[in-house]
Structure 1
Amino acid sequence: MVKTALAPTASGKNGSVTMLDVAHHAGVAIGTVSNVLNHPEGVTPSIRDRVIASIDELGFVRNRTASKLAAGVSNTVGVVLADLDNSYFTDMVRGAERSASEVGKFVVTGNSDIDMSKQRSYLNYFDEEQVSGILVAPLGGVMPPTDRHLAGRRPLVILDAARQQHDHCAVSTNNVAAGWMAAEHLLGLGRRRLIFAGGPVSRSRALADRLQGARDAVDQVAGATLEHISTDEIQIEDGRHVGALLTERTTDTLPDGIVAAADLLALGIVQVLTSSSPYRFPDDIALVACDDNRSAYDSTVPISTVDLPGLEMGSTGMRLLLEELTDGNAHEHQHVTLDPTLTARESTLGRSRSEA
């Protein structure tokens, strides 16, 4: 039987209604009230209905914190994500929540907002709250050494992991394939002077992998070239900076294809090149981005993009976490890599073909 902690009695400091009050009101043992709350299928319907009626009449509210401490089990999973402004990460939450709800668990989310100190605060908070496990999409795709102690106290799964993990389960996107797919799409449309826009690749394994994938694709096509324009971040303003640099070029030095490291970066490029230059998409320059961020959907030119599997990543991460909770010490950590897909839109196909 699952032990259920008793809240303070009605004569206690907070005057709350307790399980004992419900038992007395319904004329049953306190264990019967516990069974109604935890294992209702094992209680005779008439008794169950009587207990539920007493719960409703007295206004009993279950003390879940006390129950958790008594049972040693939490039905809550903490999720810490790098940037909830990016729909890639909100998709992870949706995927995780979908899988958690199937087994009666709840998801509580913390947004680190690309801030290492906030990430650490949320991780420590969830640890102190004794959640059953944690999903985290850490900055740079790597858990800092100062936070690795969490794995010793509760299961932790890394989402959007930058490299192979040994102390945790992890889920990654094949970012090399994403870069290759983006460049190959442009090359297949006959583009030969390509630019990879975005960085800093030295601080992000995901961006470095996308750049490597684009280079691999370009190396397979005779006469094709790839130039890298680095940026401080991969936000809209960084894309506008890239766009401004391109408007200063002469026609013979202008690329005919752009691989943008992220959709928001691509949005900034499009904003500049459609407002202050004679260049047209995709007649003069074709552009494809990576991550399918819905914040870029309002672009004046719909952006072709490599879709990163956020929903599947969150769902897979939750599955791995639930398996670890079930298996205990017998659990073997896994690293799952998911493949991206490409959605072609007007920025590479033109209006008529993208609408077909």
Structure 2
Amino acid sequence: MSARVTMADVAEAAGVSRALVSLAYRDAFGVNGDTRRRILDVGDELGYVHNRIAASLASSGATSIGVYLQDLHNDFFADVHDGIRDAVETEARDLVLAVGALGGERDAGSLRALQGARVGVIIGAGILMPDAEVQAFSSRTPIVSIAREVPGVDSVSSDNLAGGRLATSHLIELGHRRIAMLANPPSDGYLGRRAGYEEQMASAGLASRTVEVSYSRADAATAAIALLDGDDAPSAFFAHNDQTALGVLEVLLARGITPGREVSVIGYDNSSVSGAPGTSLSSVDLHGAQLGAAAGRAALRRLADPAAPPELEVTSPELVLRMTTGPAPV
């Protein structure tokens, strides 16, 4: 479809006024939900959405940046926010914050709230909705995805496949053979850590023991109890994030098991809590503040050039060793 499709073309095809089309694309009050969906569907069919992003940002002068964070209880997202703030404050950009939920059930509502705030671009950290839904939201307000690659959307991510390999290889090199992974539920964009673990286990001739858990620390603790009480209990755990690893540590400490001596635990994110005294959790460092800063710069580029093709930036994770990993018990 030609790039010269206009709002008037959408109005004509939908059988409504140009003013109503404008209201529908701005998600303004006064437009019936069914009518709005029909107008957007017609716009999609005509190929109008991509040009609408450029037209909206260029004409409205929207300069504020929306920030979506999945969980304020996870220090990783605080690190991300710090990086975003540092990257955009010199440009005098206002940040508008929305918070989600561990299971992703607030993703859509939070993104809509940011769109309603008329932000020019949204930086999303921890979005769990499928790629297609992220792409649909981004067709109306550009999204910069953090820690997850979304095709067709600006994305800043760490190499999670490499990170999964790093963590698993370290445990294997320490002599562990019974290594369990507490993996996040399978969803678009968050499979790299699990894949890295399973690849390294297979390469070493070891059987994977992947257990899917939610993002809740309590659920991780429940899964750890079941594994420890089962046959052939693991000598090491690889957790998909630091919060999950903390759930495992709570179980070990409650049972008088010394992490790093009797059972090893390695997390992911290297959030600030992992290095706290008394925790000293080995973890894979995503460099959250750096990811946030890179996403902030990507958002500024998107505001400056709304029609530019989407960019992908991938950084390398780093293994940070502390007290919770050690040689496999003899």
TM-score by length of 1: 0.68
2:315 maps to 1:338? yes
CA contact (8 A) 2:160 2:196 kept: yes
Match of 1:280 in 2: 258
List aligned pairs for 1:223-238, cutoff 5 A.
Answer: 224-231=206-213, 233-238=214-219
For the pair shown, the structure with the greater C-alpha radius of gyration is: 1
Q: Distance in 2 between matches of 1:155 and 1:249?
A: 47
Give the residue type in structure 1 aligned to 2:225: A
Q: Distance in 2 between matches of 1:198 and 1:328?
A: 36
Match of 2:75 in 1: 87
Query: What is the CA-CA distance between 1:348 and the residue it aligns to?
Result: 0.8
Query: What is the CA-CA distance between 1:144 and the residue it aligns to?
Result: 5.1
Match of 2:204 in 1: 221
Number of residue equivalences:
270
Match of 1:322 in 2: 300
Give the residue type in structure 2 aligned to 1:210: R
Query: What is the CA-CA distance between 1:299 and the residue it aligns to?
Result: 7.8
2:252 maps to 1:269? no
Match of 2:138 in 1: 151
Give the residue type in structure 2 aligned to 1:218: M
Query: What is the CA-CA distance between 1:344 and the residue it aligns to?
Result: 0.5
2:269 maps to 1:291? yes
Match of 1:8 in 2: none
Match of 1:41 in 2: none
Q: Distance in 1 between matches of 2:286 and 2:77?
A: 10
Tell me the secondary structure at the aligned position of residue 208 of structure 2. Answer: strand
Distance 1:109 1:239, change over 3 A: same
Match of 2:239 in 1: 260
2:178 maps to 1:193? yes
Q: Distance in 1 between matches of 2:157 and 2:279?
A: 30
Q: Distance in 2 between matches of 1:169 and 1:210?
A: 21
Match of 1:240 in 2: 221
Q: Distance in 2 between matches of 1:115 and 1:243?
A: 20
Q: Distance in 2 between matches of 1:116 and 1:282?
A: 33
Tell me the secondary structure at the aligned position of residue 239 of structure 1. Answer: helix
Tell me the secondary structure at the aligned position of residue 215 of structure 2. Answer: coil
Match of 1:24 in 2: none
Query: What is the CA-CA distance between 1:205 and the residue it aligns to?
Result: 4.1
Distance 1:238 1:295, change over 3 A: farther
Match of 1:310 in 2: 288
Match of 1:108 in 2: 96
Q: Distance in 2 between matches of 1:337 and 1:204?
A: 17
Q: Distance in 1 between matches of 2:85 and 2:309?
A: 23
Tell me the secondary structure at the aligned position of residue 324 of structure 2. Answer: helix
Distance 1:349 1:99, change over 3 A: same
Q: Distance in 1 between matches of 2:248 and 2:322?
A: 16
Query: What is the CA-CA distance between 1:165 and the residue it aligns to?
Result: 1.4
Query: What is the CA-CA distance between 1:239 and the residue it aligns to?
Result: 2.3
Distance 1:313 1:248, change over 3 A: same
1:215-271: per-residue Cα shift (whole Å, max 9, x none)? 22223335x44322232x132212221332244246xx1222221122122112122
**Structure 2: runs of 5+ lacking an equivalent:** 1-56
Q: Distance in 1 between matches of 2:279 and 2:140?
A: 49
2:157 maps to 1:172? yes
Query: What is the CA-CA distance between 1:181 and the residue it aligns to?
Result: 0.8
Distance 1:199 1:120, change over 3 A: closer
Distance 1:88 1:72, change over 3 A: same
Query: What is the CA-CA distance between 1:110 and the residue it aligns to?
Result: 0.8
Query: What is the CA-CA distance between 1:79 and the residue it aligns to?
Result: 0.8
**Structure 1: runs of 5+ lacking an equivalent:** 1-68, 351-356
RMSD: 2.7
Match of 1:73 in 2: 61
CA contact (8 A) 1:281 1:301 kept: no
Q: Distance in 1 between matches of 2:110 and 2:279?
A: 38
1:147-197: per-residue Cα shift (whole Å, max 9, x none)? 645434443222222x4411x211222111111111011112122221112
Q: Distance in 2 between matches of 1:344 and 1:110?
A: 33
Match of 1:66 in 2: none
Distance 1:189 1:148, change over 3 A: closer
Q: Distance in 2 between matches of 1:298 and 1:306?
A: 15
Q: Distance in 2 between matches of 1:296 and 1:112?
A: 23
Q: Distance in 1 between matches of 2:188 and 2:143?
A: 22
